[in-house]
Every structure is written in C-alpha cells, then in structure tokens.
A and B are shown apart, each in its own frame.
Chain A
Amino acid sequence: MNKALRSPTIFLLFILPALILFVMFFIYPIFSSIYYSFTSWNGVSAHVKWTGLENYTKALEQKRFWVSVQNNGWFIVFSVFIQVPLIILFSLLIAHVKKLKGLYKTTVFLPSIMSTAVIGILWGFIYEPDIGLLNQILGTFGIKPIYWLSDERYAMLSILITNAWQWTGFYIVMVLAAILSIPGELDEAAAIDGASAFQRAVRITLPLIRPIISVVIMLSIAGAMKAADIVLVMTKGGPAGSTEVMATYMIKYAITNFKYGYGNTIAVLIFIFTVIVTVLYQLLIARRNERIEY
C-alpha cells in the first residue's frame, strides 16, 4: 500500500514541471526585481550599474509617483465605500426576491467575464463627448457635454465607474452564495418572532456574512493595487498624468523609457504598499471578525 505510493522517481517527475515553472515565474522574478531595483539599468546593455537606494529616493520625491499612489488609493476608497455597500444591498435584494432570482444572478455577473480591454473601449464610446450615450442622456436634462476622459477633473471618476460596472456583479454573486448558504431556519425563526425583513437583514444576515465581506474587501484592495489595463486602455494615464496608477507608471518607465532598474523599484514599492495596506486592514478590521459557525 505505502510502497505503491512511495516512489521517489514518480514523485519528482510529478512535482518538477509545476515547481520549475513556479520558481521561474514567481520566486525568481521577486528576487530579480529586488536586485534590479538597486541598479540603474536600461534592460538591454551588458553593464549593470549598482546605485543603492538612489531609485527609491528618486521615486519618493517624484510628484507623478505620488499622484499614481493616490489614484490607487482612489480605487480602494471607491470600492470599499461605494461598491461594497451596493454589493451588500443588491445581494440582499436578490436573496430575498422569489421571482427572477436566476435572471438577476446571471445578468449581474455578465460584465465580469469580459475582457477589461474591450470594456474599456466600450465605455470609452459611452463617454464620448459628442455622440456618447452618457452625454446624450445628460443632454436630455439640459446638461452641457462633459469631456469625461479628457478633463482632468472627471477622468479618474470615469475610470472608477467603469471599473465598478465591471466588477460589482462578480462580488454580488460571491456574497449571494454566502447568504444563500445560511440555513433558512434562522431567518424563519426571526420572522415568527415578528422581525421585519429589514431587521432580519441587519441583525441576522449581515453578521453572518461578515467573513465573506471581509474577503470581498481584501480582493478589491488587491485588485485596486494592480489596476492597470483599464487605465491603459481608457486614458493611457492621461490627461496630464491625472489617471496614472502605480502599475502604469512602472510600465511607462521600464518598457517605454528603458529605465528598467527604476521600473523594478516601482514594482517593489507596489509590493510593499500592498503588504502594508493588507496588514493594516487585517489588524484594524478583519481581526475583529471571528469565524462564524452555524
């Protein structure tokens, strides 16, 4: 029995392919990024010049870098304070309707299976100043055309709305699954005791789905930190750098401007910032959410 399942050759043979790829594409890149973040290298020449912390001080002094950090911050703020409440509201609504439940569930999920690039193009068209859908709708209320993507005041907001449009349904389905897995007796018992639907939602359902909401927040933070494709497709970081995020800033330097060393510095900073935000969130909020059994 044990002999049949104890063959070092087979074990190695089964482990190695995945392990080699994992080391090549996860472990090695981390160390390579850290190493090159201390150099000024253009990514091609044979000569790699060690510059110590110079890239880091340079990044932290750059105004454009801090604008990109701030924009990642906007992604987090928007998803935590606007998207999450909407996610909870719509999940509760869908969980409690009897008719059309399936329709709501499948339709809200639809945008999240589509390519961010194509959604960026689609919304770029909706935001188009002259013939785009949004300004046409506003026009019927007598509001003058707004240059959604080319006005510094609105560009970031426009991207955030598009991003929310794409991902809200994805999280709704996750939260909904959690709500529907709560045993029905709890809700029924409260209903017999005379609790209103609103009371039951706030006192029973919400506390029980706190763990999944925590997961949703964590996932949105992770998503916010790596947002890049939507910005590249919709504004390329413009107008005047106003929608730049850390990842697009990194790409701009490393690939377009051949500052490979500096680009890796930004990559390491993205990593550090993500860890900081995650740890802060865990310490301040998530720790209070003890596991719930029912």
Chain B
Amino acid sequence: MTRTWKKGLPHLFLLLYLVVILFPFLFVLFSSVKTDNNAIALNPFGIPHKLVFHNYVEAWVNAKISTYFFNSLYISVLSSVVSILLGSMFAFAVTRMRYGRVAAALFGLVLVGMLIPNNALMLPIYTLVRKLHILDTHWALIIPYVANAIPFTIIILAAFMRSLPSEIEEAAVMDGLRSGGIFARMIIPLTVPAMVTVFIVNFLGNWNEFLLANYFLSNDDLRTLPVGMVQFRDQYQMNYAQMSAGIVFSVVPVIVIYAILQEKIIEGVTAGSVKG
C-alpha cells in the first residue's frame, strides 16, 4: 500500500501540472468550434454539441492568417540561414585559422554581445533601420534578426569547431586545399549537427519575435504572425470563437514542428547551459 502510494504521488503532482499546461489549449480548441460567445459561456469545459468550422474559414480569410504565416516563415528561415552562414565563417576564422591573439580578441568582443539586453537597444536600431531606408520592408526585420542571432550562433559553432581534431587540416593541406576549401569542404560538413541545433533555436526566436515586428512594419500585408494575431484580437475582441480559431492556426504549426523535432529542440536549448 505505501509502496504504490510512494510511486503514485510524484505522478499525481506531475499529471496535475500537465493538466495546467494542456487544459488552456483544450479550452481554446473546443471554443474554436462553438457557435458564439454564448455557447462558450454555457458550456466552457465540454466538447461542443455542434461542431462549427465556420470560425476557421472566417479567421483564415478575414484575419489573413495565411499572409502572416508565410511572411513569418520566409523571414525566419532566411534570417536563420544567413546568421548561420556568417556565424560559421566567423567561427571558422577565429578557431581554425592561425591568428591567435587577434582571433581571441574578436571572439571576446562577440561574447560581450551575449550580455547586452537587446530590448534596450531597440530605439537606436529603429533609427538605424530608418536611416538605411528599409523601415516598413521585410529587410527591417531580416537584418536585425541576423545580427541579433550572431553572438549565440558564433559561440555554439566555435565551441563545436574547436572540438574537431587538428588532423583534419593536415589531411586537407596534403590534398592541396587552401583555407577557403578547408572551410567549405571539411569543416562545414562536419559542423552540420551543431548547425541544425543553432538553426532551430534561431528559427524559433525569429518566428516568435514581437517587438521589432510590431514597431518596424506598418504595412498590414508585411506583418508577421504574432503581430497579425494581436491585431486580429483587437479587431474581433468580442468574438471569442473566431479568436480561438485564429489561435489554433498560429499554434498548430509550432506544435507540429515541435512534435517532429522535440529531441533536437530541447537539446539545442540546453546546449552549453547544463554545466553552468
């Protein structure tokens, strides 16, 4: 009796926690197929009596979720790829090329970037973006996103490249490769696992970013998903069934990505922090 109790008690707490995590999603999912606010109020917890998919059509068409979705997708992918490209070049130069002190100083400089609270830099970046005449274009997000991801990308990739044995270069030089060739033909292929991790972390960061996306773009057709959703909420404040459908649209893609890649995502986020 006490043994089963001992074994069961942790599960009791943990399952309670899972309910707290999952119930809000379930509530929104159910609400999204109910007729109106009244139907939600009368039966807040239960499965709807009549499934109404009209809300989804309305959200997709009225709220232009599709436009926002594809804006978010290409901005996030492009920014993440470019920061990995630039970051890996930098990491290669400071870890594998023979420039001891200069390399160490440059690397130290970039490390400092991790300590800067980047929200506080939003105003000068706003002015900078305006001076570059890219305010209200997608470049106003892509370039800052690439730049913001650079310190983290470099730190993780440099740590990985450092751990590669130096025999790699010896072999490559024997084969007649120069530094450019060593980078492209040897180091890059070997660094792919670390790159995947960095890509996912950067992608999620860009996909979810709200502040810059909210203030740097005013053209509705250019907006990203988080900003578009907030706008949609403000317009349809009173129609919770429709709003729920909008939430489902913006949450499902992330859940699908998560379901497929969860091992990699968790690994990526805990990378480097575990040893404290």
Asked if A14 is at the interface (CB within 8 A of a chain B CB), the reply is: yes
A93's contact among B10, B89, B262, by CB below 8 Å, is which? B10
Asked if B57 is at the interface (CB within 8 A of a chain A CB), the reply is: no
Binding site secondary structure of chain A: helix
Asked if B137 is at the interface (CB within 8 A of a chain A CB), the reply is: no
Query: Would you give the 0/1 interface string for B113-148, flagging 1 where the beta carbon is closer than 8 Å to chain A?
Result: 100111111111111100000000000000110111
Chain A residues near B183: list those with CB within 8 A.
Answer: 14
- Nearest A residue to B265 via CB reads A113
B247's contact among A14, A122, A181, A212, by CB below 8 Å, is which? A122
Asked if A152 is at the interface (CB within 8 A of a chain B CB), the reply is: no
Known contacts A33-B121, A106-B262, A109-B266: A115-B207 contact under CB 8 Å: yes
A131's contact among B40, B117, B144, by CB below 8 Å, is which? B40
Are B247 and A121 touching (Cβ within 8 A)? yes
Are A174 and B273 touching (Cβ within 8 A)? yes
Known contacts A97-B11, A118-B251, A226-B117: A251-B179 contact under CB 8 Å: no
Asked if B78 is at the interface (CB within 8 A of a chain A CB), the reply is: no
Minimum Cβ distance to chain B for residue A170 (Å): 7
Known contacts A113-B254, A225-B117: A29-B128 contact under CB 8 Å: yes
Are B127 and A43 touching (Cβ within 8 A)? yes
Are A229 and B120 touching (Cβ within 8 A)? no
Chain B residues near A125: list those with CB within 8 A.
Answer: 28, 31, 240, 243-244, 247
Are B269 and A174 touching (Cβ within 8 A)? yes
Are B96 and A178 touching (Cβ within 8 A)? no
Query: Would you give the 0/1 interface string for A110-145, flagging 1 where the beta carbon is closer than 8 Å to chain B?
Result: 110111111011111110101101001000000000
Minimum Cβ distance to chain B for residue A50 (Å): 17
Are A128 and B229 touching (Cβ within 8 A)? no
| Residue in A26, A165, A271 whose Cβ sees the most chain B Cβ within 10 Å | A26
Asked if A203 is at the interface (CB within 8 A of a chain B CB), the reply is: no
Interface hit among B16-24, B48-56, B188-196? B16-24
Known contacts A136-B44, A263-B123: A214-B24 contact under CB 8 Å: no
Are A271 and B215 touching (Cβ within 8 A)? no
Chain A residues near B122: list those with CB within 8 A.
Answer: 250-251, 267
B41's contact among A10, A24, A93, A130, by CB below 8 Å, is which? A130
How many angstroms from the CA of A224 to the CA of B13 in the assembled complex? 27
Are B87 and A260 touching (Cβ within 8 A)? no
- Nearest B residue to A278 via CB reads B115
Chain B residues near A29: list those with CB within 8 A.
Answer: 121, 123-125, 128
Asked if B3 is at the interface (CB within 8 A of a chain A CB), the reply is: no
Are A2 and B208 touching (Cβ within 8 A)? no
Are B274 and A131 touching (Cβ within 8 A)? no
Minimum Cβ distance to chain B for residue A218 (Å): 10
Interface hit among A15-23, A54-62, A76-84, A187-195? A15-23
Asked if B37 is at the interface (CB within 8 A of a chain A CB), the reply is: yes
Query: Would you give the 0/1 interface string for A240-270, flagging 1 where the beta carbon is closer than 8 Å to chain B?
Result: 0000000100110011000010011001101
Minimum Cβ distance to chain A for residue B259 (Å): 8
Number of A-B contacts (CB under 8 A): 281
Are B120 and A211 touching (Cβ within 8 A)? no
Are A14 and B148 touching (Cβ within 8 A)? no
Asked if A155 is at the interface (CB within 8 A of a chain B CB), the reply is: no
Asked if B177 is at the interface (CB within 8 A of a chain A CB), the reply is: yes
Are B179 and A177 touching (Cβ within 8 A)? no
Q: Which chain B residues numbered 251 to 266 have a C-beta less than 8 Å away from chain A?
A: 251, 254-255, 258, 262, 265-266
How many angstroms from the CA of A211 to the CA of B274 in the assembled complex? 9
Asked if B92 is at the interface (CB within 8 A of a chain A CB), the reply is: yes
Asked if B64 is at the interface (CB within 8 A of a chain A CB), the reply is: no
Asked if B98 is at the interface (CB within 8 A of a chain A CB), the reply is: yes
- B-binding residues in A (CB < 8 A): 1-2, 4-7, 10-11, 13-15, 17-19, 21-22, 24-26, 28-30, 32-33, 36, 43, 89-90, 93-94, 96-97, 99-100, 103-111, 113-118, 120-126, 128, 130-131, 133, 136, 165, 169-170, 173-174, 177-178, 181, 197, 211-212, 214-215, 222, 225-226, 228-229, 232-233, 247, 250-251, 254-255, 260, 263-264, 267-268, 270-271, 274, 291
List the 4 closest pairs (A to B, CB-CB), nearest first: A211-B276, A117-B226, A25-B147, A29-B124
CB-defined A-B contacts under 8 Å, sample of 26: A1-B173, A4-B179, A15-B89, A18-B86, A22-B109, A22-B150, A25-B128, A28-B128, A36-B124, A90-B14, A113-B208, A113-B265, A115-B250, A117-B210, A121-B233, A122-B28, A124-B233, A125-B31, A128-B240, A130-B41, A131-B37, A169-B21, A173-B269, A177-B270, A211-B275, A247-B120
Other CB < 8 Å A-B pairs besides A18-B87, A26-B112, A165-B20, 16 of them?
A4-B178, A11-B97, A15-B106, A24-B128, A26-B118, A36-B124, A43-B127, A90-B14, A106-B266, A108-B17, A115-B207, A116-B226, A136-B41, A177-B274, A226-B118, A233-B230
